[in-house]
Chain A
Amino acid sequence: MRRRLGRLGPTWAKASIPVYSIVLAFAVAAVVVIISSAFTATGFDPLLPLAAYLRLFAGAFGSGNGIANTLVAAAPLMFGGLAVGIGLKAGLFNIGVAGQFLVGAFTAAVIGAALATAPTIVGMPLAMLAGGLAGAVYGFIPGYLKARTGAHEVVTTIMLNNAAALLLTWAVNDLVRAPGFSFPRTADIGQSALPILAGRNLHLGIVFAIAAVLVIRWILVRTTLGFEIRTVGANPNAARYAGMRPIFITALTMTISGLLAGLAGAIQMLGVIGFYAPGITASVGFDSIAVALLGRSDPIGILFAALLFGAFRAGAPLMQIETSVPIEVIDIIQALVILFLAADLIVRKVFRVRAPKVEITEMATVTGSWGAGTPPPGTVS
């Protein structure tokens, strides 16, 4: 059997655990939906998950509009997933994508509005660039702090997420509030919007996102920088002995990660939202983590994982309207996917997988760097 799979073998060996994890997550979430249905007005319904999942997939793929929605939702997730993924490659866990996303979206909105009457070919790229750079700066801060002082990025980036939401609310209220609206928001982006490729809402962002996947893959696989990033992630000490600069790589990787997260915010702003108002959702932040983990930090894996979670986000509203299964079931499925990826023992038992365990060594670096100067695992006996 294994022979006949031929060239598919190695790919399947890498993809089998993620695919099985998704299947298992859907199964367990179905149990949650069935049990919780007993507490609602409609009453116990063992077939509810089936109906819900059918609507979910109908909403995501059932029509041209659905597919467009899926791609539109997947584009920022590709950027966000790459942001988390490239961080993981260097042994950094950027859970600040939400904050960098907001900063990028805000900056793109402000610059986009300032260039609202300029031709799209000028305004749109400048607004994108500004959003990306703002995200890069916001990613550099925790990267620099980690490199210089050892302050763990898991805590600092979360704090910066909260700070970003508050400070941007202030900025919209006091600095850039557009006149003529009943609530604080920025002015319209006008011509700076991303051009629509097809249908009602499929914008150019998906093309940028796929390009970003290829660029990051090229950087990681083909360049010296990519090699250094991967080496620092696999073993910072070895990297230091080899003459690399872990401190520099750490700060730089967080900056690139922030850049990607900022671009996620920028394309969401210029392609979908159109103006910044306090409380715009940054669900992209958490979703990106799930995307990166599901894609195993590999750009191509992230591409597919983003399409999947984009489909969830696109299909969920229809599911909630027609079956009244709450949208949050998507978060539950995501958490379960991560659970089964982290504890792949369960998946191996259930599906009798024999593929060799793929160790994510970078993750050990992330956890090992908790506190300061803790030696990476393996050196403690």
Chain B
Amino acid sequence: MDILALPRLIWEFLVYLFAVMPDLLPIILSLATPLALGALCGVLGERSGVVNIGIEGIMLMAAFFGYLTGFALHEPLGTGAALALGIVVAVATGAVLGLLYAWLTVTVRADQIIAGTMMNIAAFGVTGYLNRLIITPSGRGGAGVIPPFHLPDQLATLPFVGPILAMFLDQGPIAMSVIVLVLIAQFALFRTRWGLRTRAVGEHPKAADTVGINVFRQRYLNVIIGCGIAGLAGAYLTLESTGSFQNGMTNGRGFIALAAVIFGRWTPLGSFLGALLFGTATAFGIIVNVRPAEGDLGTLMKTIPTFWYAALPYLITVVILAGVVGRSTPPAADGIPYAKEGKG
């Protein structure tokens, strides 16, 4: 056995990674977009003390109603207006569901895990129901996709810098907005009065209440804003990425987003990095098929079946959760409904 076999394989792998980088980088952000937006929803809710495992369902519902809007309006209004309205409707869908979720978890104090599960099943049912009733029998398509912004070739072909620029700028508007939203959320959560109140309500609602912060109002606000952002993630899926709707198309993204929240230790920036990591794992699974490696490395990588690469992001999520979760602390009142004293 050649003693240099392993180092050589690792070297070949690094060379391979470097070679596919121009293909890999641009798709990472687009794959991470729904995860990052979903994670933002999770961070905003959980920082104020509301766990939301219904992000998956909210995304799906928003994806559907955004698509439905484009589907219904692109003939009378034209594609551009229909797509723009689709995004608005998707975000509004998310916000309305956020209102419902906040009412359930904050006012009625229903169990948050059950309420989230309800949201997921309801979304699956409602979208599947309306899809079969309205979209499938019509045999028509939707409004298509929002055209992505294209980097001028002079920039995109620059060595080193080109692919990195392409990663962030060769994207549709929703994918590009992710970075802005994450930065705003990071700043707002740690540098503004709203952020301080949010964290106070999530860590120690009673103390927050004592100093005059309206715990219920703060939680409502955060859940609604967060779910609006999850709605944007839904819009991304149908209006920017695929241009079509399939039943259950969120495919666990809402849950990967929750894992990204924990990975990112309940910060917007951290969870964005988590989303990028999962995006990278998914992108890698795609690239190994499109641009297979050569030589010994190629032979080795071909022995691993395609489906294993496809399962990679899910398995990584499990491993990361198991490795990270014990060492990060959620907001102290995360998942616990608040009741004013004497109102059991």
Contacts and interface: CB of A to CB of B under 8 A. Distances in A.
A155 B108 contact: no
B113 A363 contact: yes
A22 interface: no
Interface string B85-124: 0000000000000000000100010111111011111101
A330 B336 CA distance: 31
A366 B112 CA distance: 10
A163 interface: yes
A36 B137 CA distance: 14
B262 A156 contact: no
A234 B325 CA distance: 23
B53 interface: yes
B314 A160 contact: yes
A154 B53 contact: yes
Nearest to A333: B125
B236 interface: no
Contacts of A95: 117
Nearest to B136: A326
A336 B121 CA distance: 9
Contacts of B259: 155, 159
A151 B318 contact: yes
B133 A36 contact: yes
Given A334-B125, A338-B121, A363 B321 contact: no
A289 B326 CA distance: 27
Contact of A36 (B51, B118, B129, B330): B129
A234 B238 CA distance: 43
A166 B307 CA distance: 6
Nearest to A286: B121
B206 A174 contact: no
A351 interface: no
B114 A371 contact: no
B334 interface: yes
Contact of A328 (B104, B129, B334): B129
Nearest to A151: B321
A342 interface: yes
A300 interface: no
Contact of B125 (A330, A342, A364, A372): A330
B132 A363 contact: no
B125 A159 contact: no
A163 B335 contact: no
B329 interface: yes
A204 interface: no
B121 A331 contact: yes
Interface stretch (B177-185, B222-230, B249-257, B287-295): B249-257
A48 to B, nearest CB: 11
Given A342-B118, A370-B330, A159 B315 contact: yes
A311 interface: no
A346 B100 CA distance: 13
Given A152-B321, A159-B256, A372-B328, A36 B130 contact: yes
A332 B125 contact: yes
Contact of B332 (A40, A162, A332, A374): A374
Given A159-B315, A329-B125, A341 B114 contact: yes
Given A330-B125, A370-B330, A381 B206 contact: yes
Interface residues of A, number: 66
A334 B262 CA distance: 30
A372 B318 contact: no
B14 interface: no
Contacts of B305: 170, 173-174
B314 A335 contact: no
Contacts of B121: 286, 289-290, 331, 334-335, 338
B343 to A, nearest CB: 13
Contacts of B335: 367-368, 370, 374
Contacts of A114: none
A47 interface: no
A360 interface: yes
Contacts of A368: 335-336
A41 B120 CA distance: 29
Contacts of A377: 336
A32 B129 CA distance: 10
Nearest to A293: B114
A338 B232 CA distance: 26
B133 A40 contact: yes
B237 interface: no
B314 A332 contact: no
B57 to A, nearest CB: 9
A341 B118 CA distance: 10
Nearest to B56: A158
Given A154-B53, A368-B336, 10 more contacts: A36-B133, A95-B117, A145-B321, A149-B323, A155-B258, A156-B321, A159-B255, A332-B126, A334-B125, A335-B118
Interface of B: 51, 53, 104, 108, 110-115, 117-122, 124-126, 128-130, 132-134, 137, 206, 251-252, 255-256, 258-259, 262, 305-308, 310-311, 314-315, 317-318, 321-323, 325-326, 328-330, 332-336
Interface of A: 32, 36, 39-41, 93, 95, 141-142, 145, 148-152, 154-156, 158-163, 166-167, 169-170, 173-174, 286, 289-290, 293, 326-336, 338-339, 341-343, 345-346, 360, 363-364, 366-368, 370-374, 377, 380-381
27 contacts: A93-B113, A149-B323, A150-B326, A155-B255, A155-B321, A156-B322, A159-B318, A166-B307, A166-B314, A167-B311, A170-B305, A293-B114, A328-B126, A329-B129, A331-B121, A331-B128, A335-B121, A335-B122, A363-B111, A367-B112, A367-B113, A370-B330, A371-B262, A371-B334, A373-B329, A374-B330, A380-B336
